[in-house]
Structure 1
Amino acid sequence: MNLLICERCGERADRPQVEPEAVIRCVHCGHRWPFLRLPLFCVTGPSGTGKSTVQRLLATELADRFVVLEQDVLWVAGLRDDGAEHRPFRSTWLRMAAMIHQSRRPVVLCGTVVPPEFEQLPERALFERIDYLCLTCDADVLAKRLRDRPRWREWDEPRIAETLEFAAWIDANAATMDPPMTLLDTTDVPAETTARAVRDWLAERRP
């Protein structure tokens, strides 16, 4: 179900028109229809903090309750732009997650994102709320993880320094963002332990 296409007239909207009580209104013919407005769960954090590993560990384990997805799978040329917020990429993910929600399973989206990149988008109205769990890591350990990555990922020193700066910014601002992000330190923690903590965080919030 594409929530931007009217189920009656078939016209498409550029942005969803969401009314109270989880109802979408067509801007072309005025038709109104209900939809499932579930929360979206974002497991985020700087590169190297363990998001992809957590996604692989939880995708099968949580398959009966959640749809666990890797954000970078849509990081393709057609969705990239020159803006810092990558709006086409972010909007596409929100539309995809909202459509999956109509199957009654909430989405866990694993990938780097901070609240200002999602909360200001028109598609944000399709969700009851967005919860953010941000994986963090000690700077020295994070730098080593990035240096140890395969060459094709192109982690040179300037890029590593930029990521460490971003990580420090997250640590300083996570609690004051709107909504705030919950931090989870993955320094010297086995991947299975991190996955268990993420699973517990989801269990507390699942509708």
Structure 2
Amino acid sequence: MIEICSNCGNYEWDKEIIENKLRCPKCGAEWEFKSLPLLILTGCSGVGKTTTAIEIMRRKVDFVVLDADIFTGFINWDDEESCNKWVEIIANISKDIIQSGTLVLWTMAGCLDRFPKVYNSRYFSEIICLALVTDEDSLRQRMQEGRGITDENWINSSCDYNRYFMEHTQVGDTKYELLDISMKSPKEVADDVINWVHGKVFV
């Protein structure tokens, strides 16, 4: 919404950004906007992103927690344009929430590399990612016993992705930090994530 010009009604995604202001190329009107970090809690399927998010939402925190999977029913994962649209929607919603001064933490597994490429990423001061990782035995146990997953291809794919996070520092141009949750309870992981958020953006 913040890209809509209240002076001439221009709703196109064509605004110029000059420091903390938007400028309408059609009428020249300018207006201020808030630019804050976009926060992402990532990790492979089954590692505990949703469990952590639910635990955080039970606390009284000063940021919003949302699950990017709410949009996955509209996505064709084999289509690059569809995946880009998914990331664009997440960024679009986030930039509007941030205008109230409230930070947003999304839980999501894939497409991290697409954030720097979408239009709405220009509204964030930076994109900050934290990847949950665990040892392979714990991950298999979480998936098989915790979620009842029996599909070996799914389990092996998650183990491969978990290993990728542990062996690298970024996906495409999107960098991330690691939080090893192998020996931690959901409450301890939630505490760590909350402290990570505060350490990154409330200093």
TM-score by length of 1: 0.86
Measured at CA, do residues 184 and 18 of structure 1 come closer, stay the same or move farther in structure 2, by a change above 3 Å? farther
Shift of residue 174, structure 1, vs aligned partner: 1.8
Offset at residue 176 of structure 1 (A): 8.2
**1:48 maps to what in 2?**
46
| Gapped regions of structure 2 (runs ≥ 5) | none
RMSD: 2.3
1:197 aligns with 2:197: no
Name which of structure 1's ranges 114-123 and 131-140 shifts more when overlaid on structure 2. 114-123
Q: Deviations over 1:122-157 (max 9, x none)?
A: 211010011111100111221222223556xx7611
- Contact 1:149–1:155 (CA under 8 A) maintained in structure 2: no
**Shift of residue 101, structure 1, vs aligned partner:** 0.5
Aligned pairs for 1:56-135 within 5 A: 56-63=54-61, 65-77=62-74, 79-80=75-76, 82-83=78-79, 86-113=83-110, 115-135=112-132
The answer (yes or no) to whether the contact 2:69–2:108 under 8 Å persists in 1 is yes
CA contact (8 A) 2:113 2:171 kept: no
| Contact 1:49–1:135, Cα closer than 8 Å, also in 2 | yes
Match of 1:38 in 2: 36
Distance in 2 (alpha carbons) for counterparts of 1:171 and 1:83: 27
Distance 1:162 1:190 in 2: 24
Q: Which runs of 5+ in 1 are unaligned?
A: none
Cα deviation for residue 4 of structure 1 reads 3.2
Question: Residue 148 of structure 1 aligns to a residue in which SS?
Answer: helix
Which segment is superposed worse, 67-76 or 124-133? 67-76
Q: CA deviation at 1:175?
A: 5.6
In the alignment, the residues of structure 2 paired with residue 175 and residue 100 of structure 1 have an alpha-carbon distance, to the nearest angstrom, of: 26
Amino acid corresponding to residue 193 of structure 2 in structure 1:
V
Q: Residues 89, 175 of structure 1: CA spacing in aligned structure 2 closer, same or farther, 3 A cutoff? A: closer
Q: Which one-letter code corresponds to 2:27 in the other structure?
A: C
- TM norm structure 2: 0.87
For residues 57-104 of structure 1, give each alpha carbon's deviation from its aligned partner in whole angstroms, at most 9, with x where no partner exists.
1124244x1111111122222x44533581111100000010000111
Structure 1 or 2: more strand by fraction: 2
